[in-house]
Amino acid sequence: MSKRWMTAVAIGVGVGVAVVALRGRTGGERPDRWEKMRRFMEEMPEDFPPRVMFDNLSATDSSGTSSIDGTLDLDLSTLDNVVIDLSVGTASLTAQDSGISVTLSDYLLTQSINVSTLEQRISADGTLTSTELEGSVDFETLQEFVVFGDDNPSLGQMLISDANSSVLVSVLDNMSVQLDIDVDADGTIDQTIVVTWTELDRKST
């Protein structure tokens, strides 16, 4: 995988899998959605978690046909209705759209939400295979991503790699992110890029 592709992977996967998940932000001191989540937890049935299954589910419109196939395992729990733990996992989930295929495998996203302090801690691990990424990349959270309220993530680190190269995505603070790129998997950083969250958001869209 070339440096250009590894940079794209760092921006696309690192943001798409970890950062975008992290940026499901709150607004205000006590957002309604947290209160709704708290009430949902109080009323949650004992037989939770569910498994969501997609058996080549497809939809067609003027732009073409999209489909999804695989399973999602969901878990939601709390001991005190203050800290809520959420996990989403899949052994394999494939989505296809306009000739582009993306598969998540051995994937696990965990999120801990404190509805009093509005602190979120998020981790994501798995393998992404895409026709746009020249094969597969593995991503592993080395340090939980931390978000306070409606701010940018202030902590977190993720390693994204394939057989030939890697990118270490490190949150420096709530203003900037560092990308350390190893283009030939020899353990040496060949290029370091520091970008702001605004720049990272712009490149990921």
Question: What are 52-106's pLDDT values in tens digits?
Answer: 888 888 888 777 788 889 988 888 888 888 898 989 899 998 988 878 888 999 9
State residue 41's pLDDT score.
52
Report the pLDDT averaged over residues 172-197: 91
Specify whether the CB–CB gap between 176 and 194 falls below 8 A: yes
- Give the least confident one: 45-59, 91-105, 137-151, 183-197: 45-59
Alpha carbon distance 117, 171 (integer Å): 21
Contact of 15 with 156, CB cutoff 8 Å: no
12 has pLDDT over 50: no
- 3-class secondary structure, 19: helix
What residues contact residue 201 under an 8 Å CB cut-off, 6+ apart? 15
Q: What confidence category does residue 46 fall into, taking pLDDT thresholds of 50, 70 and 90?
A: low
Higher pLDDT, 3 or 195: 195
Token representation of residue 170:
């490190």
pLDDT score recorded for residue 132: 81
Mean model confidence pLDDT for the chain? 77
Neighbours of 56 (CB within 10 A): 10
Q: Which residues contact 167 (CB under 8 A, 6 or more apart)?
A: 6, 7, 9, 10, 14, 159, 160, 161, 179, 180, 181, 182
The residue whose two tokens read 């794209």 is 8
What's the rounded Cα separation, in Å, for the pair 131 and 96? 10
- Choose among 125, 136, 200: nearest CA to 1: 136
Q: Are 203 and 16 in contact (CB under 8 A)?
A: no
- Residue 51 tokens read as 């498994």
Q: What percent of the chain has pLDDT over 70?
A: 74
Judge whether residue 6 has pLDDT over 90: no
Does residue 1 register a pLDDT over 60?
A: no
| Amino acid 72: pLDDT | 86
CA 92 – CA 105 distance, rounded (Å)? 4
